[in-house]
Amino acid sequence: MKKIVECVPNFSEGRNQSTIDAISDAIRSVKGVTLLDVDPGKSTNRTVYTFVGDPESVIEGALAAARVAKKLIDMTTQTGEHPRMGAMDVCPFVPVANVSMEECVEISKKFAERAAAELEVPFYLYEYSQDKDYRKKLPQIRKGEYEGLPEKIVKPEWKPDYGPAKFVPGWGATVTGARFFLVAYNVNILGTSNQAHRIALDLREAGRSPSEPGRFKELKGLGWFVDEYNMAQCSFNLNNYNVTTPHEVYEAVKEEAAKIGVGVAGSELVGLIPLEAMLKAAEFYIERENLFILDEDQKIKLVIDRLGLNSVAQFKPAERIIEYITREEPNEPLANMSTRKFIEAINARTSAPGGGSASAAIAAIGAGLGAMVAKLTYGVRKFEHLEGQLRAIIPVLHETALGLVPMIDADTNAFNDYVEAMRLPQGSDEEKNSRTGQMELGLKKAIEVPLQTMRIGDKAWEGMLEAAKIGNIASKSDVQVGARALETGIWGAYQNVMINVAGIKDSKFVSEKTGEAERLKERAAKFCAEIQGILEKRRD
């Protein structure tokens, strides 16, 4: 699996477009790096860059950006609304996929060591990369900002982790480290900067003072006025969206604003946001408003509307949700075929795709038909009294049908692994033993995949049964076909399990897997018969 690290350097320049573009070009020039977002702010005089890449590439990308900043940004003349202490003010590294926080700690240290040595500037570590509690958080290190740095940096307790312990006027100092995914989130206030700041103080973890903490943990905030928007903003950093979510902050800002008679006009996401945070917001509004939404695309649209994320600029999910930007299309050539091409592939003179892939497809169609009937029944006025029951079964049938689709390719891939093992050399005893072992592993996978198809399909039976009882009678034949298809798909997967057990010497494995497969096959036959019996008797 590909390792993906996110780097989010913040530079103290948001007005000079040529400098902003030069830093962007430097990042883009690094092979293995993808620049995802560039977010400049004139009032803050700050630009946030977001790029991703493998561990080595993100270090090179950050170095390339720092080199340009050293040449083009002069901190002796820099001013802006945002707190800052350096040209490259902060440069966090965030684990995104298949990378641990510990790896990101090492990445940040390698970057700091190299940048400090090459540019001859001071670097401080923070968050997970820093082991000194008094200088672990960004506000602790940045206290006094650039103006206070000449006096601060020469104190023994504030000696930089890397680079010279002296003031470098044109650069200042940089903070780097590994951290959890930070969500930068601003809520628009139709009032003054003082009113926005007042609200932010009431909500942020630090509150107004140690004796007056705010409402939310892991939340930083302040208020300012943004000239280009002609609005004030409560500007927040959510250090851990699992502790405090954007939608909780937005709703709290609305509450506090109402107390002082101030309007709220949507919100703004700075940089990127994890899909999980968006889906948490969707579930909040779905539950609060008693909505019924299954499709992820519709859930995202709901959040964009409820949080007013289009208020100052269009929020494009494909460009702002990190999983959407970094995801790779699944390697599912069979599932992505047209129906005609898939049937032609099965019809060809090849051993794969075969019965296992066909069984997964048939089972998916069966569950999909059950979902279709339930969805067509839901929302119809004459069936309003059944909405509670339909809301319970639709998600299960919907997810089962979609969950079976990847199994179409998984089954063929499992068979191909076994075939590759058969082709291994067998000239020596060592080669023969290795080949036998790999063949057994291939067979075990060839059993586990159709068994997983059976497990997934089995989840649909209660929903199919309910659809048979309460679904629109006009769709009776769809449920009949769906139940028979689901049962056939599970039966076919069972046959693929049983045909492969003969070549396995691991008797415990064989006993466990065949026993489970027998139970699932019997459940399928029982449910299918019960469903067909119910539908034969229904006349309403």
**Residue showing tokens 């620049």:** 35
Residues 13, 55 contacting (CB under 8 angstroms): no
Give the range among 19-23, 197-201, 503-507 with minimum mean pLDDT. 503-507
Residues 278, 321 contacting (CB under 8 angstroms): yes
Domains and CATH numbers, the chain: 4-178 (3.30.990.10), 183-326 (3.30.70.670), 339-537 (1.20.120.680)
| pLDDT tens for each residue of 447-478 | 999 999 999 999 999 999 999 999 999 999 99
Sign, CA torsion 261/262/265/266: negative
Residues 104, 95 contacting (CB under 8 angstroms): yes
Distance (Å, whole) CA 472 – CA 149: 72
Q: What rounded mean pLDDT belongs to the chain? A: 93
| pLDDT tens for each residue of 481-502 | 999 999 999 999 999 999 988 7
Residues 75, 15 contacting (CB under 8 angstroms): no
CB atoms within 10 A of CB 213: 13
Name the helix (H) or strand (E) containing 481.
helix 476-500
Question: Rg of the chain's alpha carbons, rounded to an integer?
Answer: 29
- Mean pLDDT of the region 26-43: 92
Alpha helix positions (H), 153-267: 193-203, 246-259
Percent of the chain whose predicted confidence (pLDDT) is above 90: 82
Q: What is the pLDDT of residue 229?
A: 93
DSSP category for residue 244: S
Residue 540 clears pLDDT 80, i.e. is over it: no
Name the helix (H) or strand (E) containing 400.
helix 387-422
Residues 223, 189 contacting (CB under 8 angstroms): yes
Q: What is the pLDDT of residue 1?
A: 61
Residue 398 clears pLDDT 70, i.e. is over it: yes
Residue type, 107: I
DSSP category for residue 162: B
Distance (Å, whole) CA 224 – CA 268: 14
Q: What is the pLDDT of residue 418?
A: 72
| DSSP characters over 73-106 | --TTS---SS--SBSEEEEEEEEEES--HHHHHH
Nearest in space to 13 (alpha carbons), one of 21, 5, 1: 21
| pLDDT tens for each residue of 221-234 | 999 999 999 999 99
Residue type, 36: L
Strands (E), 251-307: 263-270
Residue 331 clears pLDDT 90, i.e. is over it: no
Token readout for 73 is: 């940004």
Residue type, 408: I
Residue 439 clears pLDDT 90, i.e. is over it: no
Nearest in space to 31 (alpha carbons), one of 3, 60, 4: 60
Q: At what angle do helices 476-500 and 507-537 cross, to 10 degrees?
A: 160
Token readout for 171 is: 């650069």
Residues 185, 238 contacting (CB under 8 angstroms): yes
Residues 365, 471 contacting (CB under 8 angstroms): no
Token readout for 297 is: 């695309």
- Mean pLDDT of the region 99-117: 97
Residues 6+ apart with CB under 8 A from 513: 447, 448, 451, 497, 501
Q: What percent of the residues of the chain are helix, what percent strand, and what percent coil, each to the nearest 5?
A: 55, 15, 30
**Residue showing tokens 């499992």:** 414
In this prediction, residue 106 has a pLDDT band, given cuts at 50, 70 and 90, of very high
Q: What is the pLDDT of residue 352?
A: 83
| pLDDT tens for each residue of 139-166 | 999 999 999 999 999 999 999 999 999 9
52, β-bridge pairs? 6, 34
**Exposed / middle / buried, residue 466 (Cβ in 10 Å: 0-12, 13-18, 19+):** buried
DSSP category for residue 212: B
Residues 409, 358 contacting (CB under 8 angstroms): no
Of 274 and 298, the structure prediction assigns the larger pLDDT to 298
Active site residues: 82, 411
- Coil, helix or strand at residue 421: helix
- Mean pLDDT of the region 333-342: 94
Distance (Å, whole) CA 244 – CA 238: 7
| DSSP characters over 317-351 | HHHHBHHHHH------TTTTS-HHHHHHHHHSSSS
**Exposed / middle / buried, residue 181 (Cβ in 10 Å: 0-12, 13-18, 19+):** buried
Token readout for 247 is: 């939608």
Nearest in space to 200 (alpha carbons), one of 220, 184, 229: 220
Q: What is the pLDDT of residue 438?
A: 78
- Beginning with the edge strand found earlier in the chain, give each strand of the sheet holding 231-238 in spatial order: 219-226, 231-238, 183-190, 263-270
Nearest in space to 126 (alpha carbons), one of 142, 103, 110, 114: 142
Q: Give the side-chain half-sphere CA count within 13 A for 296.
A: 12
- Mean pLDDT of the region 400-426: 85
- Mean pLDDT of the region 389-398: 96
Q: At what angle do helices 429-458 and 507-537 cross, to 10 degrees?
A: 20
